[in-house]
Structure 1
Amino acid sequence: MKQYLVTGYDYTDEGALKRRADTRPHHLDGVKELKANGNFVAAAAFLNEEGNMIGSVMMLQFETDEELEAYKQGEPYITQGVWESVDVKPIKVAVI
């Protein structure tokens, strides 16, 4: 499988934190589905000085780049305007 580091940075407008909180249950449902399908490796949220979430990092794996694109098309943090920008890089997770 191809592995990817997906980094999403949240919008910084006044409603950004509420939008994230409102969308988070849907995002987590999708992560559970990714895990059940063997696509999820690991994830974490970026925090600001106040401890609020301001972005995310996910390690995912898919058979094809097209599967990655399909995930992105359905990712609630993208479709609901939580992530202002998304960066995807190919990675190789170390097996220890």
Structure 2
Amino acid sequence: MLHVVIAHDGTAPGTFERRMKIRPDHMAQGEKMMDAGQFLFGGAIIDGAGKLAGGVLIVDFDSREEIDEWLQEEPYILHKVWDRVEVHPFLVPPQFLSLLPKYAEVSV
């Protein structure tokens, strides 16, 4: 089942520096998740000053419990980069099903 994960960076001093230090671990985990078919797409949220402020990810897990297990191991959470994380079920609209045909059976 697809979910959108919206993660917001904290605002405490040093958060950006932690983000950059931990980024290789975060990216390596993303690669591993891509290989497992769990991570479809993602990118950074940019604030009004042009700085990294969080991320948006489209992930595929069988249950919310599996998402929570992943989040417990996510480097940006472990190292207090992401301060707040939202998780929402996600449906692929018809105009994008050609890009993601696997999800046609669950679209509305």
Find the counterpart in structure 2 of residue 63 from structure 1.
62
1:15 aligns with 2:14: yes
Residues paired across the two proteins, number: 95
Deviation at 1:69, TM superposition (A): 1.4
User: 1:14-49 CA distances to partner (integer Å, 9 max, x unpaired)?
Assistant: 211101101111100100010000001110101123
TM-score (norm 1): 0.92
Find the counterpart in structure 2 of residue 32 from structure 1.
31
1:48 aligns with 2:47: yes
| Counterpart AA for 1:59 | I
Q: Distance in 1 between matches of 2:9 and 2:26?
A: 14
Q: Distance in 1 between matches of 2:34 and 2:23?
A: 16
SS at match of 2:86: strand
TM-score (norm 2): 0.82
- Identity across aligned pairs (percent)? 31
- In terms of Rg, which structure is larger? 2
SS at match of 1:72: helix
Deviation at 1:66, TM superposition (A): 2.0
Runs of 4+ in 1 over 6 A off after TM superposition: none
Structure 1: stretches of 5+ with no match in the other structure: none
Structure with more contact order per residue of length (Cα contacts < 8 Å, sep ≥ 6): 1
Root-mean-square deviation over aligned CA pairs: 1.1
